[in-house]
Amino acid sequence: MKAEYINAFYLATQDVFKLMLDLETTRLGMRVTDELVPFREANVVIGVTGDLSGSLLYSFPKHMALEMVRIMAGMEMKELDAFVTSAMGEMANIISGNALTRLFEHNYRCDIVPPQVMIGTGQSLSMATPSAIVLQLQTAIGNFEVSISLRTK
Amino acid sequence: MMWKEKYRVGAELIDTQHKELFHRVSNFIQAVQSPQPWENKLEHVKETMAFMQDYVIIHFNDEERFQAEIGYPELERHKEIHARFRAGVQGYAKRAADEGFTEELIQEFGGRLMAWLIMHVAAEDQKIGQFLRSQQGGSHES
């Protein structure tokens, strides 16, 4: 996978976190994995079609997901209920859409499939590539991962 | 409270309507997330769904008229974004009418509505404010 894919998702995540949550996001590291497995409690999977195709996985610890939605709603959230997971799904959708706009500037035309939220860890997802890049990100309210498994048409 | 001062665009009508939208969505979320039995919340939920369907049309029309008045260069693009937002609200209203106002569906709607509204006002609508200030030579005070 080319660096411009990864950077587009990193920059889009940074932008959306700043705009929607007033949070700075920094990169802790990056690793390569040969399977796409949610390793946090709150996960959003988004499919990508077009010049690039595959899957994106946003993986958040429960306490962080609840805090993200608390910041948006201005009220405490107790459970990963349909309200919280829907807001998380939409936020991941916005980040992905923003990243695809950036990729369009590099002449990749892609669309996204509506988000699917998965609660819990362990369930392996199918990958478009033999390996995926996992971006490890840090904010003041917790650390999370964005996994990118995309292949060129 | 969902509204933040940073969401101000700098045009009184738009800011007043945005505040009203945030106020209504905030009340809606509080009602949906309150620990009362679902039946007790239903009336408020239905009322807010009806309000949102009407108010997004009023607000988007007013905002588009304002953008035309100031010669906002991204008006057509902004209209498309409004159309998608409107379709999203109407889609949930239709699902609620067809499938019933279930707690699961309305919670899902609430989560999406909140994220749409914040992103739209915090990102897209701020560009109107930036344009407005650039037209006024940076001297505009909100």
**What does the alpha-carbon distance between residue B24 and residue B31 come to, in Å, rounded to a whole number?**
10
Asked whether the predicted pLDDT for residue B1 surpasses 80, the reply is no
- B139: burial class by Cβ within 10 Å (0-12, 13-18, 19+)? exposed
A140 close to B (CB below 8 A): no
Rounded Cα gap, residues B85 and B114, in angstroms: 12
Residues 6 or more apart in contact with residue B134 via CB below 8 angstroms? none
Minimal CA separation from B34 to chain A, in Å: 11
Interface of A with B in 70-99 (CB under 8 A): 72-75, 77, 81-91, 94
What whole-number distance in Å separates Cα of residue B6 and Cα of residue B124?
13
pLDDT single digits (tens) B54-102: 998 999 999 999 999 999 999 999 999 999 999 999 999 999 999 999 9
pLDDT of A1 reads 59
Kindly state the helix (H) or strand (E) to which residue A132 belongs, with its residue range: strand A132-139
B44 pLDDT band (50/70/90 cuts)? confident
| pLDDT at residue A17, as a whole number | 97
Query: So what's the pLDDT on residue B138?
Result: 53
Asked if B104 lies within 8 A of A74 by C-beta distance, the reply is no
Residue A122: left if φ>0, alpha if ψ -120 to 50, beta else—which one?
left
CA distance A119 to chain B (A): 15
Task: Examine the pLDDT at B142 and tell me if it is beyond 50.
Answer: no
pLDDT of residue A115: 93
Domains of chain B by start residue, with CATH: 12-135 (1.20.120.50)
What whole-number percentage of chain B has pLDDT above 70?
Answer: 96
Please state the rounded mean pLDDT for residues B109-118: 95
- Per the model's pLDDT, the better-predicted residue between B48 and B104 turns out to be B104
Chain centroid to Cα B43, Å, comes to: 21
Q: Do B29 and A73 touch (CB under 8 A)?
A: yes
Tell me, what's the pLDDT at B88?
92
> Left, alpha or beta for B76 (phi > 0: left; psi -120 to 50: alpha)?
alpha
Angstrom distance (rounded) from CA B122 to CA B132? 16
Whether the per-residue pLDDT at B140 is higher than 50: the answer is no
Q: Locate B21 and state its tokens.
A: 């939208």
Reduced to 3 states (helix: H, G, I; strand: E, B; else coil), residue A138 is: strand
Specify the DSSP class assigned to residue B76.
Answer: H
Range list of H helices, B34-71: 38-69
Q: Is the CB of B102 inside 8 Å of chain A's CB atoms? A: no
Q: Is the CB of residue A52 less than 8 Å from the CB of residue A5?
A: yes
Answer whether A19 sits within 8 Å of B33, measured CB to CB.
Answer: no
CB pairs under 8 A between A and B: 61
Q: Is the pLDDT of residue A89 over 70?
A: yes
Nearest CA in chain B to A87: B111
Q: What is the mean pLDDT of residues A133-149?
A: 96
Closest Cα to residue A17, out of B123, B72, B43? Answer: B123
| B48, B24 Cβ separation under 8 angstroms | yes
Contact A31, A134 (CB under 8 A): yes
On the question of pLDDT at A3 being above 80, the answer is no
Q: How many CB atoms lie within 10 A of CB B68?
A: 11
Average pLDDT over residues A72-80: 95
Provide the pLDDT for residue A124.
77
Give me the pLDDT at residue B26, please. Answer: 93
Number of C-beta neighbours around residue A105 at 10 A: 9
Average pLDDT on A107-124 reads: 89
A45 touching B, CB under 8 A?
no
Domain chopping of chain A, boundaries: 3-152
- Cβ–Cβ below 8 Å for A83 and B26: no
- Residue B62 phi/psi, 5-degree rounding, is -60, -45
Instruction: Pick the residue of A18, A86, A91, A98 with the most B CBs within 10 A to test the interface with B by mutation.
Output: A86
pLDDT in tens, A11-45: 999 999 999 999 999 999 999 988 888 889 999 99
Percentage of chain B modeled with pLDDT above 90: 80
- Determine the Cα–Cα distance for residues A31 and A44; give it in Å rounded to an integer: 19
User: Which CATH superfamily groups domain A3-152?
Assistant: CheC-like (3.40.1550.10)
- Distance from the Cα of B54 to chain A's closest Cα (Å) equals 22
Sign of the CA dihedral running A25, A28, A31, A37: negative
What is the predicted pLDDT for the residue at A36?
86
Question: How high is the pLDDT of residue B112?
Answer: 95
**Proportion of chain A above pLDDT 70, given as a percent:** 99
Judge: B118–A72 Cβ closer than 8 Å, yes or no.
yes
Contact A140, A63 (CB under 8 A): no
